[in-house]
Structure 1
Amino acid sequence: WPVYETCQELAIPIIAHSGLDNDHKGFTEPRAFANMLKAFPHLRMVVAHLGGAAWKQTLEIAQTFPNTYFDCCEIIEWTNSAHGPTDEQLAQMIIDIGPERVMMGSDFPWYDLDHSIDRVFSLPLLSQEQKEQIIGANAVDILGL
């Protein structure tokens, strides 16, 4: 995996799409990244969509690999849907991961940006400061901007 090796050496974070793939082979599920994360323990990896429809795997990856970070730009728009977490489950997952490891927009906002930001600010359980970090400051830290 020479690209991962180079990114690790140069401290360049990578972003990976995550979720359930249409053919159900598991290639984009968060647990599919485990072998790569083991091989490159200093590579900063952003798991987009907090795992998407495979969101239940996200916490396991976060707890096992401290070099993982997460983007909530898509999942924030479909909480309470058939495949998504409730607002409370999403907020609790962010707390369990560590709010400092979650950001918004690194995989580009899929929906109306203002609405997505409002959705973050409407999440329960998180402090105003944590929500503000998710909206901007965390990306600066995680992406090394």
Structure 2
Amino acid sequence: MAATSEHHTVRAVLDRFFAAEAAYLAAGGPGRAPFDELARCLTPDVTLLQADSLPYGGVYRGPEGIESFMARMSEYWTSLEFLEQRFVINDDSAVVFNRGTLTARGSGRRLETAVMQLIGVRHGLIAEIRPFYWDTLAVARTLAL
């Protein structure tokens, strides 16, 4: 089955978003990295739902909410390296398996983990992100929480 143009649109915005996310963390987060590239991937009413058990858990709304989340996340992590990504894409959504390595800001400890994300896309932009972590306890332990 050939990929539709919607499939290509969804994949393109996901590729841009994940590259911008990694670059934002690598640059040091707020005040050190522009959020513009991430914002260009998001709808005005985007929603991110993070597990409450994470130190940056909660519901974040709008690009300013995602920027707030990224600022909180960058307080804990200095880098995000994607080791593997798998995409299952429908017309307006994707399930993305991300396996990667995070480096803790405070200790320099590294965590290799996986996150599955359900991502909704509307008009070529990300409208919703629902991440499901393989092991939130490992995140807390790596961060020494």
TM interval, short-chain normalised: under 0.3
Q: Which has the higher helix share?
A: 1
Relative contact order, higher structure (CA 8 A, sep 6+): 2
TM-score (norm 2): 0.26
* TM-score normalized by the length of structure 1: 0.26
Q: As a proportion of its length, which structure holds more strand?
A: 2
